[in-house]
Structure 1
Amino acid sequence: MTRVWMLPILLVLSGAAVATGHARSGDPGLAAALLALFVLLAWMTSPLVFPRPVPAAEARRRSAVDGRPVVYWRPGCTYCLKLRLRLGRDASRLHWVDIWRDPAGAAEVRAANGGDETVPTVFVADRPHTNPDPAWVREQLPPAA
């Protein structure tokens, strides 16, 4: 769990240090702006941006029932963040598996990508698609009920 939060915590601490330096040199406006920027970056690289992850076995089970794709991701991955942000509200309609929390999910990603943990890997109907276009992923969603 600490590995997931390492980058966001490092960003907040770095932002605090940079902001403190600017505040001490007499520029509190710049200090506040930089701190806000670092906090935003920390939030964007944290697991908070993503829907609540589920274990790989549960995601597969749910996908078999509702036909929704399963997305394997990890915190700090810029491609995962791009997919998440471009999906917008539709992201909550997918099943998200954090491979840093779920060793079985990481194993599935390695099996699909020749031993590499390349994410995002999206499984649609049990077929893996590595770093797919967000528009394509949106097309794979079943119609909303």
Structure 2
Amino acid sequence: MTPKPEAARSPKARRAMFVRRWRGAAIAIAAAGIVALITVTGGDRATGLVLTVALLVAGWLVSPVLFPRGPDWTTAQQLAQTRGVPLILWKPGCAYCIRLRLTLGTAGSRAIWVDIWADENAAAATRSLNDGNETTPTVITADGARTNPQPGWVKAQLKTS
């Protein structure tokens, strides 16, 4: 059975997907709010400010905002092949995905990024490449797929494309 595209899922399934993608960010932002509240009501203001900012930055890092909204799995495969760039399967909150994205810097925007939690077909592809696991980042190039490759290797793949 072929998984349904995001638009064809029920409202309940779309809501669950949204919560799953934003859960880590929501927890970090809520913790920042609690720290800010405690600070305002009598805590050490300097420490409170530092903790609040750190939690907000952590919320941003684990949210889907750091990564542009990518195409669906089928379109991503076509784009990656046409452009000759790596296709990167990722998921929100993945520390290795965040490390890869930050290390690649602006060069990372040349790659095609697909959120496996937003696209069931991409999730299925990730599982097929990783012995049934949704291990990310999984980087697919013309030479094959690599799971959690070194950022330098991905950067080299982007330079040759």
Q: TM-score range by the shorter chain?
A: over 0.9
Structure 1: 5+ residue stretches without partners: none
Query: 1:141 & 1:30 partners in 2: Cα distance?
Result: 41
Q: Give identity over the alignment, percent.
A: 38
SS in 2 for 1:53: coil
Number of residue pairs matched by the alignment: 144
Matched with 2:11 is none
Q: Which runs of 4+ in 1 moved over 6 A?
A: none
Alpha-carbon distance between aligned partners in 1 of 2:143 and 2:123, rounded to the nearest angstrom: 15
Determine the C-alpha separation between the residues in 2 that align with 1:36 and 1:80. 22
Question: How many Å apart are 1:19 and its aligned residue?
Answer: 2.3
- Pick one of 60, 84, 89 that aligns with 2:77: 60
> What root-mean-square deviation, in Å, do the aligned CA atoms of Structure 1 and Structure 2 show?
1.4
Counterpart position of 1:127: 144
| Structure 1 position 102 matched with structure 2 position 112 | no
Equivalent in the alignment of 2:153: 136
TM-score, normalising length: structure 2: 0.84
Deviation at 1:142, TM superposition (A): 5.1
Segments of 5+ residues of structure 2 without an aligned counterpart are 1-17
Aligned to 1:11: 28
Secondary structure of 2:81's match? helix
Name which of structure 1's ranges 69-78 and 12-21 shifts more when overlaid on structure 2.
Answer: 12-21
Matches of 2:50 and 2:34, distance apart in 1:
13
Name the TM-score, length of structure 1 as normaliser.
0.93
